[in-house]
Amino acid sequence: MLEPSIHPEILIADTDAELTQMLSTYLSLDHFNVTVVHDGLIAAEMLTSQIFDLTVMDLMLPGMNGLEILRQYRHISQKPVIILSAHDSETDRVLGLENGADDYLSKPFGPRELKARIQAILRRTTGQLNNTKMLRFGPLSYVASTDSIYWDDQQTALTGAEQRLLKRLMCTPGQCVSRRELARYALGHVQSAYDRCIETHISNIRRKLQLNFQGAPVLLRNLRGWGYILIASQPD
């Protein structure tokens, strides 16, 4: 697994030249190496030819839209992606998360908020907040050396945010973990009252486990109004 950069490499793909210049200048002050592109096809090409620690990408890009780029990128990398959109709609948020985005930010937003989300995600993806080497729960296991979750010996096809959610639940199986804590750990920010990011990620985890591992006994149980529990079998 590649070691994280001393100065993280960030790709920003957005058509707004004024916004990208402002974000590039602001992030550079904190020693981020920022690359800016304004075209979807160029962004897709750069993501296949270069390694970025994190990508910030608008949904509406000329040449190729952000969702299509994200779908293609997830075939080759699980590096974190933050989706931007001028449309604060649940549909856009759900589509972004279902296609592998780690976080979603609606325009307009402040550069401090974006920087805070970038830093929080990078801390989690580089393992700076958690030195766990191995976790096991039934056939599930988390291996730090590959930063991956496995079912028996087969690697799961989960996104970075989905892996962090399942890893957090694996730390305390049988105990309910609040949505607030799951959002803080997996996404790097507190979930608002109307934010459905955690629910979407949990739904994706369930779907992928059932699709790839028939008869999977591991279940994610919802405790309404509070959070989720990782349990070994269906309760009576």
**Amino acid letter at 129?**
L
pLDDT surpasses 50 at 199: yes
pLDDT score of 232 more than 80: no
Co-location of 99 and 140 in the same domain: no
User: 149 in a domain, yes or no?
Assistant: yes
Q: What is the pLDDT of residues 142-159, one digit of tens each?
A: 887 777 888 888 888 888
* Same domain? 54 vs 30: yes
Q: Report if residue 2 sits inside a domain.
A: no
**Residue 173, Cβ neighbours under 10 Å: how many?**
16
Say what the pLDDT of residue 234 is.
47
My answer on whether 153 and 179 are in the same domain is yes
Give the pLDDT band (50/70/90) at residue 236. very low
Same domain, 77 and 147: no
Copy the structure tokens of residue 101: 């985005």
Domain assignment present for residue 220? The answer is yes
Q: What is the reported pLDDT for 43?
A: 96
**193 domain-assigned:** yes
Pairing state between β 81-85 and 103-106: parallel
Here the CATH number for the domain that contains residue 164 is: 1.10.10.10
- Same domain membership, residue 47 and residue 109: yes
- Predicted confidence (pLDDT) per residue in 7-47, tens digit: 788 999 999 999 999 999 999 998 899 999 999 999 999 99
Total domains present in the chain: 2
The percentage of the chain sitting over the pLDDT mark of 90, rounded to a whole number, equals 31
Do 144 and 212 lie in a common domain? Answer: yes
The DSSP line for 160-208 is HHHHHHHHHHHHSTTS-EEHHHHHHHHTSSPPPTT--HHHHHHHHHHHH
Amino acid at 207: R
Same domain, 27 and 45: yes
Do 17 and 85 fall into the same domain? yes
What is the pTM for the complete model shown? 0.59
Please give the pLDDT value at position 45.
94
Tell me, what's the pLDDT at 34?
A: 95
- Residue 144 to residue 24: CA distance in whole angstroms: 32
Examine the domain organization and report whether 118 and 147 are in the same domain.
no
Do 154 and 109 sit in the same domain of this protein? no
- What region does 216 belong to: left with phi over 0, alpha with psi -120 to 50, or beta? beta
Question: Does any domain span residue 139?
Answer: yes
pLDDT average, residue stretch 192-219:
77
The two structure tokens encoding residue 98:
């279902």
Quote the tokens at residue 206: 């369930």
- Please indicate, yes or no, if residue 98 is contained in any of the structural domains: yes
Boundaries of domain holding 194: 134-231
Q: 103 and 171: one domain?
A: no
Sole residue written with tokens 């990011």 = 197
Q: Indicate the average pLDDT of the chain.
A: 83
> Do 118 and 157 fall into the same domain?
no
Residue at 99 is within a domain: yes
Between 84-93, 112-121, 170-179, the lowest mean confidence (pLDDT) is in: 84-93
**CATH code of the domain containing 80:** 3.40.50.2300
| Residue 1 falls inside a structural domain | no
